[in-house]
Amino acid sequence: MSYAIVRQKKAYLYELDSQGKRAVTDEVLSGWALELRKESGQEWEMMDSDQPSGDSARLVRIRTHYGYEGLIERRAIRVSEKEELERRAKDGRTYVVIRPWVSLLDGPRVQDSCLEVLPLGAFVSVIPGSETDAFVRAVSADGREGFLPRCALMPRRDSDGYLLSPEREKEQFFLKERLPQGEEEIQAFRRDVISMAEKYLGSSYFWGGASPEGIDCSGLAHMAYMLSGVLIYRDAEIRPEYPIHPIPKEQAGPGDLIFFKGHVAIFVDRTHFLNSTAYASSYGVALESFDPGDPCYRGDLLEKITGYGSLFDSGKHSPVS
């Protein structure tokens, strides 16, 4: 099995239509690990695209650490080994960017030059013992070493365990993730999901996007959960091999998901929800409402709800009144 790491700040995943044109299906960010899905000897089996010829414009099929597959440009990734994924799972040095954008500087001062700009959700490797009051030394997935504000990072909470698991165990992997336990931990997780989603407020809507530059509805839900430590399905539906399961409306609490036909939102309270929408008056990540008296009322969505989903079983969380 072969692996890769996203080396660009972000890169899209594609599928090809019948004419060979690209359609965006997802977005992966700097530092994320991938499994290479097609090989021929020691060469990747490249697939032609509608872009100019040459290795940099060719696509290779990959699988993400949350089980999503697609085609990615060869130039967006670097080859990795299983040992690198195992090492970063153990050394505790992988941190995630938690500001919409952050500059990797060549020195620990705001006046220093920018080496690279990284988005919310990107992974970096922090160098132990390098902290100052405001900065920490870190290495990006593209190999650039510099300084990042300490307040812009937190330890990574999810894992590459899915990619490192034997194929026979992958189908059940996400159902065996450790979920928050006990009322205090569950409520803290719910707050985290809302807090992480709020970091994207004002971001533009983009189909298949997962970054502050542009994000879609399921990308917002997926990123809010991933940053909180749990991997859920990337699209706007409930899949039996992932931990979100249907619940009655009456049991929904903060951080749970509201499903519509072709859309998903994050439940905040009985009237408010967070979503990334292409709706003309919002067009992006917004806090919206089911209250007719609220200026951000979305009566069109209220009529289209198909169900609610949660990580938690009945009676193991406190719904909102």
Number of helices and strands in the chain (H, E) = 6, 24
Q: Which tens digits make up the pLDDT trace of 56-107?
A: 468 999 999 999 999 999 999 999 999 999 999 999 999 999 999 999 999 9
pLDDT reported for residue 57: 61
Judge whether 151 and 133 are in contact, CB under 8 Å: no
Residue 257 CA to residue 98 CA, distance in Å, equals 22
Judge whether 201 and 275 are in contact, CB under 8 Å: no
pLDDT at 241 over 60: yes
Where do you find CATH 2.30.30.40 in the chain?
Answer: 2-81, 85-155
Q: What is the pTM of this model?
A: 0.92
Q: Which tens digits make up the pLDDT trace of 203-235?
A: 999 999 999 999 999 999 999 999 999 999 999
Where do you find CATH 3.90.1720.10 in the chain?
Answer: 165-310
- Reported confidence tier of residue 36, pLDDT bands at 50, 70, 90: very high
| DSSP conformation letters of 164-179 | HS-HHHHHHHGGGS--
pLDDT reported for residue 1: 81
For the ranges 30-44, 236-250, 289-303, the lowest mean pLDDT is seen at 30-44
Question: 85-155 is classed in which CATH architecture?
Answer: Roll (2.30)
pLDDT at 42 over 50: no
pLDDT at 315 over 50: no
Question: 165-310 is classed in which CATH architecture?
Answer: Alpha-Beta Complex (3.90)
Using CA atoms, how far residue 84 sits from 27, 90, 125, 137, 170, in Å, is: 22, 10, 12, 20, 20
pLDDT at 294 over 70: yes
Average pLDDT, the chain: 92
Report percent pLDDT > 90 for the chain.
Answer: 87
Judge whether 201 and 286 are in contact, CB under 8 Å: yes
At position 184, the amino acid (one-letter code) is E
Residue 120 CA to residue 30 CA, distance in Å, equals 10
What is the pairing mode between strands 257-260 and 305-310?
A: antiparallel
Judge whether 5 and 28 are in contact, CB under 8 Å: no
At position 198, the amino acid (one-letter code) is E
The most distant pair of C-alpha atoms in the chain lies apart, rounded to whole Å, by: 63
Report the top-level CATH class of 2-81. Answer: mainly beta
From first CA to last CA, the distance across the chain in angstroms is 49
Residue 308 CA to residue 129 CA, distance in Å, equals 45
What is the pairing mode between strands 305-310 and 284-289?
A: unpaired
